[in-house]
Amino acid sequence: MLTRQLEAINLTKVYRFFISIIYKEVAMHPLTALLSIILLFIQLLLIKHPLAIIMAFLLLIGMLLHHKKAAIIATNFKYTKWPILVVLLINPIAVNYGDTVLLSFQILKFTLSITAESIVYSVMMSIKLFSIMIGMQLLPLISSGEDLFTFFNNYFRQLTLTLSMSSNAIGALKEEYDRVQMVMLTRGMPLKEQGFSVRIKRSVYLVKVVFISVLEGTFHRSEALFVRSYTKNPGTDYQPLTWRKTDQYILGFLAIITTLIAVSILSHGYFYQYYPQLLGTIASLPLVTLVLTLTTIYIGLKEQIKNEQLLF
């Protein structure tokens, strides 16, 4: 039933444009990709409605699954699980607003209340945090790496070069760090002793030598730039950017979505309040957001099952 319904939507232009976003073979122009991500982030940051947040989150998950990048979800969860846990625990304890008291206890002169509103709020904030983390990695998936490099190299030339050089230098830095540790061991600096003063002393020596070494490395890299005739002005492009028709369609589609969201916000369509009581309706969500999310999830899961990949 759902498939048939989706096939029906497939007839519409909107759906075809949407399909092109999640299908890698129609990679977006970097500008289009960037605008799509920005729109997603705006939605995540500005909109309070829990269903809108959940849907944006599911949209992201669906896209990552489609690109066979379930590992990104797992990796990000590994690094964000502690901040998420802090948000989940601190907010209900620290914020006592909300009418629906689930638990209340006395500590000294203070009364601590855990409310349903504060729990819902902290869950939503955690989802937002996790969505932002995984959303940041969406850019190279919806646009090609080569195109992104050319785009950033043309408009943020020095920043792109700095990032590229830094990524190369990380391996060398690790080697340097290990080497200096061996040197410190030779000097009689205990590597495994955990005393505060020893750790401070150890860090000062380590940072001092590695910092000088990094500075020397920087000088060598400036020589390397000189011999490759580097100037501040961009030259020609190895992979020139092409503005496809699909990009025009996607941008048009994004414009419609943006307008819908803006109109919804202005007319309190996305209205939702957490305190003192949870207040808002499903009807206040624009239908297009719902369709988009469900479609992505459907395609993402289908792709995932087809490739016999596990979610986590």
Partner 1 sequence: MSSCYFKNVTYTYPESSVATLDQISFNIEKGSFVLISGVSGSGKSTLGKIIKGIIPKLYGGRIKGKFESEEMGYVLQDPEKQMLMTTVERELAFGMENIGVPHRIMRKRVAEVLDYIGLSRQRSQETRTLSGGQKQKLAIGCAVAMGFNGIILDEPTGQLDPVSSTEVIDLLKRLNEEQGMTIILIEQKLDALYEAVDRVLFLEQGKLTFDGTPKEFVNAHSAGINDVLSTFTLSFKKAVDAQIFSDCPLSMKAARKMLSTKDMASCNALPLEPLAVEERPLQEKVISLRDVVFSYDQKSRHLSLDQFTLYKNDILGIIGENGSGKSTFMKVLSGVLTPQKGHIEQACQIGFLSQNPNDYFFEPTLRLELEQVLSLQSKEWSEHLDEQLDVLGLQSLLNKNPRDLSGGERQRAAMAIVLAGAPEVLLLDEPTRGLNRGLKRKLITLLQKLHAQGLSIVMISHDMELISDLTTKVAIISSGELQVLDHTHMLLSDGLFYVSDFGKLFSPYGMRVVNSKESEQILLNLKET
Q: 233: burial class by Cβ within 10 Å (0-12, 13-18, 19+)?
A: exposed
Within 120-149, the residues that bind partner 1 by CB under 8 A are 149
Q: What is the DSSP string of 64-126?
A: HHHTT-HHHHHHHHHHHHHHHHHHHHHHHHH----S-EEEEEEETTEEEEEEHHHHHHHHHHH
- The site string for partner 1 over 212-231 (x = CB under 8 A, - otherwise) reads xx--xx--xxxxxxxxxxxx
Do residues 90 and 97 make contact, with C-beta atoms less than 8 angstroms apart? no
Rounded distance between C-alpha atoms, residue 256 and residue 290, angstroms: 15
Tally of helices (H runs) and strands (E runs) in the chain? 12, 2
Rounded distance between C-alpha atoms, residue 40 and residue 32, angstroms: 12
The one among 187, 266, 308, 310 contacting partner 1 by CB under 8 A:
187
Q: How far is the CB of 150 from partner 1 (least distance, A)?
A: 9
Q: How far is the CB of 307 from partner 1 (least distance, A)?
A: 21
168 binds partner 1 (CB under 8 A): yes
Rounded distance between C-alpha atoms, residue 26 and residue 19, angstroms: 9
107 versus 227: smaller Cβ distance to partner 1 = 227
186 binds partner 1 (CB under 8 A): yes
Tokens of 165: 């050089």
Q: Which long-range contacts (CB under 8 A, 24 or more apart) does 90-98 make?
A: 90/122, 91/118, 91/121, 91/122, 91/125, 92/118, 92/119, 92/122, 95/121, 97/275, 97/276, 98/274, 98/275, 98/276, 98/277
The one among 106, 158, 197, 236 contacting partner 1 by CB under 8 A:
236
- The site string for partner 1 over 271-310 (x = CB under 8 A, - otherwise) reads ----------------------------------------
Residue 112, beta-bridge partner list: 105
Q: How far is the CB of 219 from partner 1 (least distance, A)?
A: 9
Q: How far is the CB of 73 from partner 1 (least distance, A)?
A: 20
Q: How far is the CB of 22 from partner 1 (least distance, A)?
A: 23
Q: How far is the CB of 67 from partner 1 (least distance, A)?
A: 18
Stretch that binds partner 1, among 16-24, 116-124, 208-216, 277-285 (CB under 8 A): 208-216
Strands 101-107 and 110-115: antiparallel
182 binds partner 1 (CB under 8 A): yes
46 versus 200: smaller Cβ distance to partner 1 = 200
Q: How far is the CB of 304 from partner 1 (least distance, A)?
A: 23
207 binds partner 1 (CB under 8 A): no
The one among 179, 199, 268, 302 contacting partner 1 by CB under 8 A:
179
Four-residue CA torsion sign, 134, 139, 145, 148: negative
Q: What is the DSSP letter of 311?
A: -
Question: Would you tell me which residues interact with partner 1 (CB under 8 A)?
Answer: 149, 161, 164-165, 167-168, 170-172, 175, 178-183, 185-189, 191, 205, 208-209, 212-213, 216-217, 220-231, 234-238, 240
